[in-house]
Homo-oligomer: A and B are copies of this chain.
Amino acid sequence: MTESLSSTELKACREIFGTDRFLTDPADCLAYGYDNSRRVAMPQAVAFAANHDEIAALLRVCTEHRIPLTARGRGTNTTGASVPIAGGIVLTLERMNRILRISPGDRMIECEAGALNGDIQAAAAKHGLFWAPDPTSAGFSSVGGNLACSSGGPRAVKYGTARDNVLGLRAITGTGTSIKTGCYTTKGVVGYDLTRLLIGSEGTLAVITEATLKLLPKPEVTRTLRAAYRDVKSAAEAVARLMGQPQIPSALEFMDGDAVMLAQQHQDSGVPQGTGALLLIEADGAPDSIESAVRAISDAARGDGLIELRTAASSAEAEALWSSRKALSPALRKLAPKKVNEDVAVPVTRLPELIDGLGELSRRHSIRIVNFGHAGNGNIHVNLLADPSDAMQMKAIEACLHDVFKLVLSLEGTISGEHGVGIDKRDYVGWEIDADTLALMRQLKQVFDPQSILNPGKTLPP
């Protein structure tokens, strides 16, 4: 446990926030000490920022007194990225949730970083627009958090992740210096691209305070298809075909045979016997072009190993097709009180090797592994199921996880496709990124945050 803030430090912070927006009571601090990783650490204080300038002032105080600062949105990340493991101050941006401006003709929305993804979607929808990132948490996660983690989601297969859908940022570095990145147009090549450097940096380089988001026209209709394959290889070949034709699916979700079986046990959704891999596919577009999109996607889905291809004719049928995917999470929870959910990604053509390799690791470590995820990006959620009361099994999980990451890297994959590094994967980053490149990243961190006060202990290995 780190020490309390000194009276000088407290005084400086309260000059910025008053007493009602700078809390030090342990009960208040505890509420801001965890995130969806279920890890927890106690900060010395929680600051509720109302605007950009307050954050700049706070960062100058933190720099002067070398106080660690962890910025957070709604703490929905799963990797411990917003857990204040070095203590210090948690800065919450939840009250900075204003939409500053929406310009539908420019497909642009400007907001404070604490605005919820869901509020952005609602504001954009009024003009027939949407913002692409759609993490599961979209309804209650903040734009700032989405940007800090470069959130994706199922739609990323067609529309990209946070990194692909931001025009510019306002942010404050570790020294309290305000910067402005990017521009208000979809093209711009003046200066270095700091926007994307900050996106995905998990608050270790700067605190994002405002963002200009790129909006996209909302497709009027979506259609759902479900394709059952004999084995993973046939499904992976179908994924490559689906991604190789111009009618890119707006979602392309994968479930392996074990995942299908589990879901079926939980709730029968009519997946045929002998299904070794399932694809759930969504097409979107205008009413008068959706049929041809569905045709193109159906053609691409057909091929060796296809057992059944179903297209939903109504939204009720679509829901029925999605039900096996949706039954999966409760089924997994029921089966294993603790699941380690990784989110590795490999090139699409390596998916069969990945799933085969995971099967082998499952047998070697006696750990049940269930796989599903965003197939179009090769981004697979690898779920290692365990009983947390079984110490031996928890040890096996760790050993298995090591082998999973080694397998993924041997297939030219990445250890995190969308969840990020946080604390959970920090020690594995050096397996993926070579020492010289990592050293350069550390030097960049030094430039942005010379005192190392921003979210210490995250993203880069120590």
Mark A residues whose CB is within 8 Å of B. Answer: 103-108, 127-129, 149-150, 152, 156, 160-161, 163-164, 173, 177-181, 183-194, 196-197, 199-201, 205, 217-220, 237, 240, 243-248, 284-286, 288-289, 292-293, 295-296, 345-350, 374, 376-379, 412-421, 425, 429, 432-434, 436-438, 440-441, 443-448, 459-460
Known A164-B164, A240-B105; contact A414-B183, beta-carbon cutoff 8 A: yes
- Contact partner of A345 (CB less than 8 A), chosen from B185, B217, B414, B447, is B185
Known A217-B246, A414-B185; contact A191-B438, beta-carbon cutoff 8 A: yes
CB A89 to nearest CB in B, in angstroms, measures 23
Q: In the complex, which residue of chain B has the Cβ closest to the Cβ of A439? A: B177
Whether B194 and A440, one on each chain, are in contact in the complex, defined by CB atoms closer than 8 angstroms, is yes
Whether B194 and A189, one on each chain, are in contact in the complex, defined by CB atoms closer than 8 angstroms, is no
Known A192-B197, A440-B177; contact A347-B184, beta-carbon cutoff 8 A: yes
- Contact partner of A296 (CB less than 8 A), chosen from B173, B289, B436, is B289
Residues of B within 8 A of A161 (CB): 187
- Contact partner of A440 (CB less than 8 A), chosen from B160, B346, B348, B447, is B447
Residues of B within 8 A of A184 (CB): 346-347, 412-414
Give the interface centre of A128, A173, A190, A420 by most chain B CB atoms within 10 Å. Answer: A190
Known A193-B197, A199-B193; contact A105-B244, beta-carbon cutoff 8 A: yes
Whether A437 and B180, one on each chain, are in contact in the complex, defined by CB atoms closer than 8 angstroms, is yes
Residues of B within 8 A of A296 (CB): 286, 288-289
Known A188-B414, A289-B247; contact A197-B200, beta-carbon cutoff 8 A: no
Complex Cα distance, B421 from A127, in Å, reads: 35
Complex Cα distance, B187 from A286, in Å, reads: 27
Complex Cα distance, B286 from A237, in Å, reads: 21
Whether A190 and B415, one on each chain, are in contact in the complex, defined by CB atoms closer than 8 angstroms, is yes
Known A194-B441, A440-B447; contact A413-B288, beta-carbon cutoff 8 A: no
Oligomer: number of copies:
2
Q: A184-B413, A190-B414, A289-B289 are in contact. List 9 more A-B contacts (CB 8 A).
A: A152-B187, A186-B376, A191-B432, A191-B441, A192-B201, A217-B244, A245-B286, A289-B292, A292-B292
Residues of B within 8 A of A374 (CB): 187
Residues of B within 8 A of A288 (CB): 292, 295-296
Complex Cα distance, B448 from A183, in Å, reads: 24
Complex Cα distance, B163 from A199, in Å, reads: 14
- Contact partner of A189 (CB less than 8 A), chosen from B178, B348, B416, B444, is B416
Q: In the complex, which residue of chain B has the Cβ closest to the Cβ of A411? A: B184
Q: In the complex, which residue of chain B has the Cβ closest to the Cβ of A443? A: B447
Whether A107 and B286, one on each chain, are in contact in the complex, defined by CB atoms closer than 8 angstroms, is no
Across the A-B interface, give the 5 residue pairs with the lowest CB-CB distance, nearest first: A105-B240, A289-B292, A105-B349, A106-B347, A196-B196
Complex Cα distance, B189 from A217, in Å, reads: 26
Whether B346 and A377, one on each chain, are in contact in the complex, defined by CB atoms closer than 8 angstroms, is no
Whether A185 and B128, one on each chain, are in contact in the complex, defined by CB atoms closer than 8 angstroms, is no
Complex Cα distance, B185 from A327, in Å, reads: 28
Whether B378 and A185, one on each chain, are in contact in the complex, defined by CB atoms closer than 8 angstroms, is yes
Whether B441 and A192, one on each chain, are in contact in the complex, defined by CB atoms closer than 8 angstroms, is yes
Whether B447 and A444, one on each chain, are in contact in the complex, defined by CB atoms closer than 8 angstroms, is yes
Whether A106 and B191, one on each chain, are in contact in the complex, defined by CB atoms closer than 8 angstroms, is no
Residues of B within 8 A of A437 (CB): 179-181, 191, 194
Complex Cα distance, B190 from A421, in Å, reads: 6
- Contact partner of A285 (CB less than 8 A), chosen from B196, B246, B417, is B246
Complex Cα distance, B348 from A434, in Å, reads: 42
